[in-house]
Structure 1
Amino acid sequence: MIPMLLRVLGHQYARPVRRTVALMTTAAVVEGLSYALLVPVLRALFGSTPEDAWPWLIAFGAAVAVYAVLRYAGDLSGFRVGTTLLRGMYHRLGDHLARLPIGWYGPGRVGQVSVLAGRGVLDAMAVIAHLMAPYISACVTPLTIVLVMLAFNWQLGLAALVAVPAVAAIQLWTGRAMAAADAERTERDHEATGRVIEYLQAQPVLRAGGRTAERFRLLDDSLRELRRASRRTVLSALPGAVGLTLTVQAMFTVLLTLGAYLALGGNIGAAEVLTILVLAARCADPLLSLSDIGGKLRGARSELARLDAVLNTEPLPEPREPIRPERHDLEFDSVTFHHGDRTVIDDVSLSVPQGTRLAVVGPSGAGKSTLLQLLARFYDVDAGAVRIGGVDVRAIDTETLMAHIAIVFQDVYLFDGTIEENVRLGRPDASDAEVRAAATAARLDDVIERLPGGWAANVGEGGALLSGGERQRVSIARALLKNAPIVLLDEVTSALDPVNEAAVHEGIERLMAGRTVVMVAHRMRAIQRADHIVFLDAGRIIEKGDHDDLLHRSGRYAAFWNISLTP
């Protein structure tokens, strides 16, 4: 567990973790040794001079006090180290997730990452703060007591020692038996979380269809499977818990029987037998808790393994000697890109001179948005090259690449904050005048005047308090403020009403002025003024040219254009 924890977090945390484990182990040993003082205490109490027990009682009290101090120090160290590990884990996981390719965030990842970043991280990091001390105590204290028994009476100590491998074997067997059940339950848990998120996101569709009173079958099925998996997990743990209980009870019975036999034979006194039974009873409690603690540790280990898998996912490689492009022309050179088994882009070659506009047209699923994503290096191509200013995007470091590109997508996400904070994401160091100018150019000032609070108006999580057109204006203002030389537009007006579309179109025209632009649009009128147009289908360029030229050819583009004119 500890090696995996350090591998996931980094070995810079090794020293405080090992110090904490050593402190907890020392406390457990002192606790076990303190019970050795019960031997002279009980001998004196059952002897002819009970008052002789006072010095041993004082020594026992002092030992317990030392144990209490060590246990407090160990627990406090565990909490502090656990808090440090939790903070470090969140920072490392967040930084790593931000570096992973966008293609990694496929279907099902939202539920998986939300569980992992929430309860998963907390459970994994709780090992040091909450589980390590009781686990070490449950293992080390009984073992120390057994050694005390051996020193006191080798026959009784040897009988107790026989239980050690039996308890260890039961723990190992239980862990292996529950591995499959634990994995299944975790998988069902992640699936159920994803279904809950899906159910919440599907509320507009369900309500529009008049199905608010119906149960969501996919969610119900997922929760039902989670319940079954949880039941199987409990049933898998039952034999181990029962076996551990029987082993501990059998050990206690054996010690009682052997102690009585030795006492009747005159080999040991009643005080010694009573002491052995007290020590054995003190062994029983922590050993019985191993079943519960072991289950929690297995859960934490599973979360650590999943964190390790995510952190071992390779981000897109950064160039060792990055090159900064001096021009802003774009080029696709025999580009091929696969998504799973599907070829999304198939041997595409095209160029966009600096300061010109390229429009990409085609049916849904043709690969239009993927072209924009390859330009922004959301993915790496499987063959060929994507270049900016003659430089392969793989040779440009991410910060420089993103500084050269402004992206406006159809689905705009705004962070829970004010309008000004969301606009400033484009360039955080911009002056107030620059922010206001970008808002005016994007026609966002009309929205700000209508909202209570103006610039300080909160947009809600995801921009939920704004309409789609208003969110799009914020996105355009952000892109204008960024003032990047390359602009990528993906269906920015396809879902807007006429008023918002006109306002957004005006902002887009200002954003595109003097920049290299690649736009994807289904509304054909939005691309008439493009310098170059390519028609994409099934990942291949079918036609290319300007608007008038493509209309005269009466090909696929002309057919799309004619359909768009049909009322």
Structure 2
Amino acid sequence: MITTLLRVLGDRHARPIRRTIAWMVAAALAEGLTYALLVPLLATLLGGHPDRAWPWLAAFALAVAAFGLLRHRADLSGFRSGTTLLRGTYHRLGDHLARLPVGWFGAARVGEVSVLASRGVLTAMSVLAHLLGPFVSATVTPLAIVAVLTAYDWRLGLAALAAAPAVAMVQRWTARSQAAADARRHDLDHEAAARVVEYLRAQPVLRTGGRTGEHLLDDALREVAAASRRGVLAALPGIVGLTLVVQLTFTALLVMGTALALGGGIGAAQVVAVLVLAARGADPLLTLADLGGRLRVARSELDRLDQVLGTPPLPVPDERASPDGHDLEFSSVTFGQVLDGVSLSVPHGGRLAVVGPSGAGKSTLLRLIARFHDVDAGAVRVGGVDVRAQDPDDLMSRLAIVFQDVYLFDGTIEDNVRLGRPDADDTQVRAAAAAARLDEVVDRLPDGWATVVGEGGALLSGGERQRVAIARALLKDAPVVLLDEVTSALDPVNEAAVHDGIERLMAGRTVVLVAHRLRTVRDADQVVFLDGGRIVEQGGHDDLLRLGGRYAGFWDARNSATASAVAATGNAWSSPPGSST
């Protein structure tokens, strides 16, 4: 566990932790050696000359004082290092996450990382501040006492030392038996948390549908309760086993000491002193039973942190190339099972529309340009330079990306727009907002630019979030624009406003857009029809229509769907009073 803890912290932040561990080991050794003075002290007190015990009593008092100072220094260092651990782990985690591929952050990963950043890091701090000291004491102090017993009488020392492998075996067996239970409990905790969130978000559906979904939450909570009971039951054999080993060892020392005293090997006073010493060594050993479960929880969190920190980041070359221009090129690109040998190019200032059925790999094309992932084969080039050879920050500065699902930070509208270019002045921010027709939204809100959008932009509508995203992209003024179905889920009014903003955003820039809206596709310089990760057709809009292939079928289907929707809407509005529609 200590090795994992130091690896999670890294070399920079691990130094104070190593110092803390050294202080804890010194305090634990001092505690064991202090107990060693009980042997001559008690032997003298119970012998024929108790008045000779004063020097031993003074030595014992001085040893206790020294141990107290060391323990205070170790505990103080532990709490201070706990703060260092917390800060250091957050810095390491944040720096590492910033270097991971953006594609790594799936929905499940985001939840996992959020739990690690809160509970995981705090658990790691508690390991150092609250558990590490008792753990070191529970292992080092008994070993020091065994060394003292061995020096006093090798037979008693060997008898005490025989307990060490038995204690280790019990602890290891308990850890193995509880590992599966702990893993199962962890999974069930996440499942129950997801069900709680689902239950809260689905209140309108549950109330209108007779609340039939509550059993899912009840089942998840019952599973957590059952897993907790199984975890307690799994820990009982280890607790009982450890207690039994310690008690048997103490009994063996008692029997052996009595036999040695009866044989004249040692005196009765020495036997009493040895038993007191053995009892002091048994106390920290028994705490291992309580520490074991808490340490396993901490260890599992440390392992998860270690796993995330061990995820390889995006490789960055030592010598980074700068692109010449802003043309785009895919050269025989293969990526997983999504893209297979895709080759295409977009000249500087050109517009490419990518269409095709769901799952064809359209959005993946955009993500590869932004280097959310690295290709398995082939190359993606921006300005004639492979994106893998470019500085990641420089590459992102050249791209403006607007996705269908817009995420806004829990701040004001102005804060979210300024993310595009934090150093922009108010005039530039207002100009970008006007171009995206975001000013219409700001004008009708009571707090205007100071309106708080909520987590993820939840307090704004989908169309309003899209306008913020477009304004942000306009303010960034990047030469390459990537658009991913930004109007597919909007109503006609918002679609018209967003389309105007998109047209201003695309003007004079290299554009790759994934779109199903006919007007957006029709205005592109070239169209690529993807299916099954391959380019099925490629060319201009009119040329592809004349070809009469897959794209023409897609275009006709979209025209028919649009006409049907318009007709249905017209019939609904024109139905006479009292009729059903």
Would the TM-score normalized by the shorter structure come out above 0.5? yes
Structure 2: distance between partners of 1:207 and 1:235: 37
Distance 1:149 1:345, change over 3 A: closer
1:280-429 superposed matches below 5 A: 280-338=278-336, 343-429=337-423
Deviation of 1:206 after TM superposition, in Å, equals: 3.8
Choose 288-297 or 46-55, whichever is displaced more. 46-55
1:432-443 superposed matches below 5 A: 432-443=426-437
Residue 565 in structure 1 maps to residue 563 in structure 2: yes
Choose 437-446 or 538-547, whichever is displaced more. 538-547
Distance 1:471 1:277, change over 3 A: same
Please name the residue that 2:572 is paired with: none
SS in 1 for 2:359: coil
Structure 1: distance between partners of 2:169 and 2:20: 27
Please name the residue that 1:71 is paired with: 71
Choose 529-538 or 247-256, whichever is displaced more. 529-538
TM-score relative to the length of structure 1 = 0.90
Tell me which of 234, 242, 249 is aligned to 2:240: 242
Structure 2: distance between partners of 1:211 and 1:102: 41
Structure 2: distance between partners of 1:102 and 1:556: 35
Distance 1:449 1:59, change over 3 A: farther
**What per-residue deviation string (whole Å, max 9, x for no partner) do you get for residues 338-395 of structure 1?**
2xxxx32233332222222222222222222122112212122233322222222222
Distance 1:242 1:214, change over 3 A: same
Structure 2: distance between partners of 1:205 and 1:493: 27
SS in 2 for 1:566: helix
1:193-232 superposed matches below 5 A: 193-196=193-196, 203=202, 206-207=205-206, 210=209, 212=211, 214-215=213-214, 217=216, 222-232=220-230
Residue 115 in structure 1 maps to residue 109 in structure 2: no
SS in 2 for 1:359: strand
- Identity across matched positions, percent: 68
Distance 1:415 1:211, change over 3 A: farther
Deviation of 1:148 after TM superposition, in Å, equals: 2.5
Distance 1:158 1:357, change over 3 A: closer
Aligned length: 561
Distance 1:540 1:153, change over 3 A: closer
Question: What residue identity is the alignment partner of 2:301?
Answer: E
Please name the residue that 1:151 is paired with: 151
Deviation of 1:288 after TM superposition, in Å, equals: 0.7
Deviation of 1:153 after TM superposition, in Å, equals: 4.1
Instruction: Identify unmatched segments of 5+ residues in structure 1.
Output: none
Structure 1: distance between partners of 2:365 and 2:523: 20
Structure 1: distance between partners of 2:210 and 2:323: 54
TM-score relative to the length of structure 2 = 0.88
Please name the residue that 1:137 is paired with: 137
Please name the residue that 1:538 is paired with: 532
Distance 1:14 1:337, change over 3 A: closer
SS in 2 for 1:315: coil
Structure 2: distance between partners of 1:482 and 1:386: 23
**What per-residue deviation string (whole Å, max 9, x for no partner) do you get for residues 1-59 of structure 1?**
33333333222344322221111111111111112232344345445665554544343
Contact 2:13 2:88 survives alignment (8 Å)? no
Question: What residue identity is the alignment partner of 2:399?
Answer: I
Deviation of 1:289 after TM superposition, in Å, equals: 0.8
Instruction: Identify unmatched segments of 5+ residues in structure 2.
Output: 566-581
Choose 131-140 or 141-150, whichever is displaced more. 141-150
Deviation of 1:176 after TM superposition, in Å, equals: 3.5
* Superposition RMSD in Å: 2.7
1:78-117 superposed matches below 5 A: 78-106=78-106, 108-117=108-117
Please name the residue that 1:517 is paired with: 511
SS in 2 for 1:303: helix
Tell me which of 468, 475, 490 is aligned to 1:474: 468
Structure 2: distance between partners of 1:317 and 1:226: 41
**What per-residue deviation string (whole Å, max 9, x for no partner) do you get for residues 248-274 of structure 1?**
111222233333444455554443333
Question: What residue identity is the alignment partner of 1:513?
Answer: A
Question: What residue identity is the alignment partner of 1:78?
Answer: G
Residue 490 in structure 1 maps to residue 484 in structure 2: yes
Q: Would you identify which runs of 4 or more consecutive aligned residues in structure 1 move more than 6 Å?
A: none
Structure 2: distance between partners of 1:517 and 1:375: 11
Deviation of 1:192 after TM superposition, in Å, equals: 4.4
Please name the residue that 1:39 is paired with: 39
Distance 1:537 1:221, change over 3 A: farther
Contact 1:535 1:543 survives alignment (8 Å)? yes
Deviation of 1:225 after TM superposition, in Å, equals: 4.5
**What per-residue deviation string (whole Å, max 9, x for no partner) do you get for residues 167-223 of structure 1?**
2232233334434443444344445445555555x5278448636453253x55555
Deviation of 1:88 after TM superposition, in Å, equals: 1.7
Structure 2: distance between partners of 1:156 and 1:389: 79
Structure 2: distance between partners of 1:204 and 1:407: 34
Question: What residue identity is the alignment partner of 2:482?
Answer: L
Deviation of 1:467 after TM superposition, in Å, equals: 1.7
Deviation of 1:507 after TM superposition, in Å, equals: 1.5
Question: What residue identity is the alignment partner of 2:447?
Answer: G
Contact 1:359 1:530 survives alignment (8 Å)? yes
Contact 1:40 1:56 survives alignment (8 Å)? yes
Choose 517-526 or 21-30, whichever is displaced more. 517-526
Contact 2:199 2:214 survives alignment (8 Å)? no
